[in-house]
Each structure stands twice: as structure tokens, then as C-alpha cells.
């Protein structure tokens, strides 16, 4: 006897004239195809977007000696540019008064106010920088430190469009221009180092931060203390690592197979149930049920 490989066929065909189309069958078929299409398109759009996973580690992502670049963009609507400067101090003994490099002062409010844009670097130790009139030779009568912050950023600028939930510029649009004129403003800033690895292997080092704020009227022995806007910072030992990942193609294939197969199976069960029920109903109507 000759061996017939067709015996391995698990998809045996029923001759066409032994099958019959039904209306419910057609309805179920069309619905399941629409359903498959919908699931397939949702799954495809999910596959085409990459995901960003994040993890926490206790490490320093860059060398300890590395410094953190800072960018600050702040408007003081009631203080002339000529009086303003930035002072930087830290626990490593740094004390710079009236930092001016890479700083732009733009007159606003018809010369009565000033916007400061400044880039500088800080060491990775606790410290502070403050915007004040300390470095000015002549002091204004009433240094009004009310201000409006546009940006305080640590580390690189994480480009727009990256789907990262984080706290990279929480001080944006903080408006203290309605505060007391002679008050000192304190921002206590906790800096969190972050690493962002994109799909192409580029690595960036942005820093996130949180802050708390306090406004105080300071008095010294000889009367009022010259007010300032203080940013006192501290680094967190925890690093947040963001990694962009593409979803693997095989999981997409698996999902598509599951969608197609699963839908047809469920639809088939549904169809045969309806068909059987209809047959029983017909028989019952004819009184042939025994």
C-alpha cells in the first residue's frame, strides 16, 4: 500500500456542496473581520511607538569630578540690570561673587526691570547660587527681589518630544512678582541625576529636581539684610535611568496570530451555538422534539 502524505492534513476539507451558508454565519463573519481589523490596527500603532522604561539605581552616572551645567532664565521686573549679579558658593570652598561670564542681562519694563539668562557650572556637592545685588558697588535703596522664573535647568536640555514623565523644569513659570518687595526668596532644590539612553545608543545626562519654597523678611543686627533669591541645592544619591526600547517583532507577530486565531475560534463557537439553538427551536416548533 502506498503511503499518502495527505493523511497528515489536519485541515481536512469538506466538499462544498455539503456546507451551507447561513445569515447569522455571515453576520458573525463580518463582525469578526471588523473586530480583527480594529485589534490589528491598535496593536500595529502600539508596535510602531517605542516605549521608555525607567529604573532607579544608586550610582553616579558620570565621573565625580564632572560638573553640572546650570541654566537660569529669570525676570526681576522691579530691579535694574546694573545692580544684579549671581553669586555661587559651595561646600568645596567655592565662593564667586558677581559671576558674569556667559550671562546676559536684558532690560525689561522700560529699563526698570531686568531679565537674566546665565549659564554656569556647579560642583557635585551641596551649595547655593543666588541672584542678588551683593556684587554691585552701589546698592539700590529698595532692592525689590520679586521675580518670575522662566527656566532653571540642570544638565543637558532633554529635547522636546521625548515621552518622559519627569520633573526637569518644575520651576517654569513660577511667578513671585506679587510677593513682598523686600523679601528674601529661598528655593531648596533637590537634584536627581538622570540618564537618558535613546534607541540609537546616544546617552544624555539631564537632571531632575524638586523644590520647596519659603519667603522670609530677614533682619540682621544693623537692620534689614539685603534680600536675594537663593537656590540652595543638594544632590540625591539615586539616579533615574530612562531607556528607549523598541518592542520585539516576534511579540507583534504572536499578538497578531492570537488576535486572528482567537477571534475566529470564538466566533466559530458562537456561530455553532446559535446554529444548534436555531435547529432545536425549529424542531420544537414542528413538535418533533423527542
Ligand X SMILES: *[C@@H]1O[C@H](CO)[C@@H](O)[C@H](O)[C@H]1NC(C)=O
Instruction: Using the minimum distance from each CB to ligand X, give the nearer residue, 112 or 134.
Output: 112
Angle at which helices 249-285 and 23-48 cross, to 10°: 160
**Pair type for strands 184-197 and 203-204:** antiparallel
**Binds ligand X (CB under 6 A): choice among 105, 150, 190, 241:** 150
Q: Which residues pair with 194 in a beta bridge?
A: 240
Binding-residue pattern over the window 112 to 131 for ligand X, x denoting contact by CB under 6 A: -----x--------------
The minimum distance between CB 150 and ligand X, in angstroms, equals: 4
Q: In whole angstroms, how far apart are CA 178 and each of 33, 146, 147, 183?
A: 62, 7, 8, 11
Instruction: Using the minimum distance from each CB to ligand X, give the nearer residue, 77 or 140.
Output: 77
The minimum distance between CB 117 and ligand X, in angstroms, equals: 5
73: contact with ligand X by CB under 6 A: yes
Instruction: Using the minimum distance from each CB to ligand X, give the nearer residue, 60 or 157.
Output: 157
29: contact with ligand X by CB under 6 A: no
C-alpha cell at 23: 445569515
Q: How many residues bind ligand X (CB under 6 A)?
A: 3
The candidate with the shortest Cα–Cα distance to 209, out of 242, 176, 233, 229, is: 233
Instruction: Using the minimum distance from each CB to ligand X, give the nearer residue, 73 or 236.
Output: 73
Asked if 196 and 54 touch (Cβ cutoff 8 Å), the reply is no
The minimum distance between CB 178 and ligand X, in angstroms, equals: 18
The minimum distance between CB 75 and ligand X, in angstroms, equals: 7
Q: How far apart are CA 133 and CA 137, in angstroms?
A: 9
The minimum distance between CB 175 and ligand X, in angstroms, equals: 12
Give all strands (DSSP E) within the chain, no chain letters.
Answer: 51-58, 68-76, 85-90, 95-99, 103-108, 113-122, 127-132, 148-155, 174-175, 184-197, 203-204, 206-216, 219-220, 223-224, 228-235, 238-245
Q: Which residues pair with 188 in a beta bridge?
A: 212, 232
The minimum distance between CB 114 and ligand X, in angstroms, equals: 12
The minimum distance between CB 212 and ligand X, in angstroms, equals: 23
103: contact with ligand X by CB under 6 A: no
DSSP state of 260: H
Q: Provide the binding-site residues for ligand X, judged by CB under 6 A.
A: 73, 117, 150
Amino acid at each position: 500500500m502506498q503511503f499518502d502524505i495527505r493523511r497528515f492534513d489536519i485541515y481536512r476539507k469538506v466538499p462544498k456542496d455539503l456546507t451551507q451558508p447561513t445569515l447569522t454565519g455571515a453576520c458573525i463573519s463580518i463582525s469578526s473581520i471588523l473586530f480583527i481589523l480594529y485589534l490589528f490596527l491598535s496593536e500595529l500603532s502600539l508596535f510602531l511607538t517605542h516605549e521608555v522604561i525607567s529604573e532607579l539605581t544608586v550610582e553616579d552616572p558620570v565621573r565625580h569630578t564632572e560638573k553640572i551645567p546650570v541654566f537660569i532664565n529669570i525676570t526681576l521686573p522691579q530691579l535694574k540690570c546694573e545692580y544684579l549679579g549671581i553669586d555661587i558658593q559651595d561646600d568645596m570652598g567655592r565662593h564667586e561673587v558677581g559671576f558674569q561670564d556667559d550671562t546676559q542681562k536684558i532690560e525689561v519694563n522700560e529699563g526698570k526691570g531686568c531679565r537674566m539668562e546665565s549659564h554656569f557650572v556647579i560642583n557635585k556637592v551641596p551649595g547655593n547660587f543666588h541672584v542678588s545685588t551683593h556684587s554691585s558697588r552701589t546698592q539700590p535703596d529698595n532692592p525689590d527681589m520679586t521675580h518670575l522664573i522662566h527656566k532653571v535647568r540642570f544638565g543637558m536640555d532633554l529635547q522636546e518630544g521625548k515621552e518622559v514623565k519627569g520633573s526637569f523644569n518644575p520651576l517654569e513659570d513660577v511667578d513671585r512678582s506679587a510677593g513682598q518687595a523686600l523679601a528674601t526668596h529661598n528655593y531648596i532644590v533637590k537634584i536627581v541625576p538622570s540618564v537618558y539612553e535613546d534607541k540609537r545608543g546616544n546617552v544624555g545626562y539631564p537632571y531632575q529636581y524638586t523644590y520647596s519654597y519659603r519667603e522670609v523678611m530677614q533682619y540682621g543686627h544693623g537692620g534689614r539684610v539685603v534680600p536675594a533669591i537663593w537656590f540652595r541645592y543638594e544632590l540625591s544619591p539615586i539616579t533615574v535611568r530612562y531607556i528607549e526600547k523598541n518592542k520585539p517583532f516576534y511579540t507583534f507577530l504572536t499578538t497578531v496570530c492570537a488576535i486572528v486565531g482567537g477571534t475566529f475560534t470564538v466566533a466559530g463557537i458562537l456561530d455553532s451555538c446559535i446554529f444548534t439553538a436555531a435547529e432545536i427551536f425549529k424542531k420544537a416548533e414542528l413538535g418533533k422534539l423527542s
